[in-house]
Structure 1
Amino acid sequence: MSRHEFAPGLVIQGFEPPLPLSRFKLAAFDMDSTLIDIECVDEIADMAGMKEEVAAITEAAMRGEIADYKDSLRRRVALLRGVTIADLELVYTTRLRFNPGAARLVAACKAAGMKTLLVSGGFTFFTDRIRDKLGIDFTRSNILEIESGPNCGQLTGRMVNQPWGDICDGAEKRKMLLETCASLGISPKEAIAVGDGANDLPMLGEAGLSVAFHAKPKVREQAMVSIESGGLDRLLEVLR
């Protein structure tokens, strides 16, 4: 089926709507610029006076113009050295907002009996709070290393290795989606995946329904649903 506008600002390809929501058992979401309206790393960088430099790397990574996402994230995080926990708190309380329709879409998925997953190249300082606010079942994201000793409470400019690996990139998002499906005893084709950047493409490619939200061109072209105006809950226009 060709790519076509199903409704103003809502483009679909590869299926004929509506799809029954009951077909799906898991909904996986990216965080930055998907569930929330900022890129957290860029806003943290602003606290260090480095937003322009960091945001340029973020934009290139999200557009798929940087081949090594892990290296791009390490470069960005290195520029955050010296930012304080208080600065992170300020980003959370004054700059982070849910995107329109995010809470409604997650609630609709949960009401339909689906499990929910948050997979992010961002940081646990934010993903854990988003998880708790929305009642999300599973998460995977990165841990910012914090200085001890004289500089206690400041970022070191590094991330902490975790039991599953070092950095949650596109490959890790895909792996976590597949592992979560396996643990639930479902097929990846029973999952919905929602994202906006190139590092979401590996998990979008595995899901039964791939959704781009105000996404980069490469992601819009490949997703089965592209929400190009309005909120995340516009997905419910093609799901019943």
Structure 2
Amino acid sequence: MIKLCIFDFDNTIMDGETIDFMARLIGKEEIVKDLTLKAMKGELDFFESLKARALNLKGLRVDEAKNALLNLPYINGAKDLIAYLKKKGIKVVVFSGGYHLATDIAKEILGFDASFANYLHEKDGILTGEVGGEMMFGYSKGKVLEEIQNLMGLQKDEIMCVGDGANDISMFKKAGLSVAFCAKDVLKKYATHIVDIKDLRELKKYV
């Protein structure tokens, strides 16, 4: 019986990449998209990609960034699935290699229990291009999941993970049920289930 479900955020809960919505404001969207794609395919070290992408946001006003994230598009069925899981007594947590700027807003809208993500450093209301936080490395999701598992006293078969990219591999290895959702090929080989229909309600059949 599943007691904890961990979701990736970008392209799993949210329909797109959080950083693209901010990079668009300063004309850096294409550069950032290329860095993100290479990281999600496992072609570029996640930490190096994270730092390079954040650097491209240097000079953006924080209030502009927040405004851009207020109306993010969410994957079909996201709110419904989260409500379904919580009704079954399952804790729902988001792990994002992106930013709390987005996941904190999404938490209020979608109702999941907690999120772990990164923070964009700011000074005088301007992004400095520096980044830090809980999800900075390729292994971060697996490491934080291990801490939560120990805290909650869970067995591997009581944990479900859902994601789409290479930085989800570390958490998939620690979950009894892992769903590659509209995922990159590099992740599918680690999944117990593969869903290529872009509707999160498809996952109800597994829980």
What's the TM-score, normalizing by structure 2? 0.94
Q: 1:45-64 to 2 correspondence within 5 Å?
A: 45-64=23-42
2:80 counterpart of 1:110: no
User: Is 2:148 the counterpart of 1:145?
Assistant: no
Is 2:142 aligned against 1:174? yes
Q: Residue 194 of structure 2 aligns to a residue in which SS? A: strand
Checking the alignment, whether the CA contact within 8 Å between 2:8 and 2:96 is kept in structure 1 is yes
Cα distance, 1:230 vs. partner? 3.4
Distance 1:71 1:65 in 2: 11
Pairing 1:63-142 to 2, within 5 Å after superposition: 63-66=41-44, 68-94=45-71, 96-142=72-118
Q: 1:20 matched to which residue of 2?
A: none
What's the % identity of the aligned pairs? Answer: 35
Shift in Å, 1:54: 0.8
Unpaired stretches in structure 2, ≥5 consecutive residues: none
Q: Where in structure 1 are there 5+ consecutive unaligned residues?
A: 1-22
| Counterpart selection for 1:191 from 129, 152, 159 | 159
Distance 2:137 2:22 in 1: 19
Q: How many residues are matched?
A: 207
Q: Match of 1:76, as an amino acid?
A: R
Deviations 1:196-220 (CA, angstroms, capped at 9, x unpaired): 0100011011101001111111112
Q: Is 1:226 equivalent to 2:202 in the alignment? A: no
Alignment RMSD (CA, Å): 1.4
> SS state of the match for residue 142, structure 1?
strand
* 1:30 lines up with 2:8 in the alignment: yes
Per the TM alignment, residue 41 of structure 1 is displaced from its structure 2 partner at its CA by 1.2
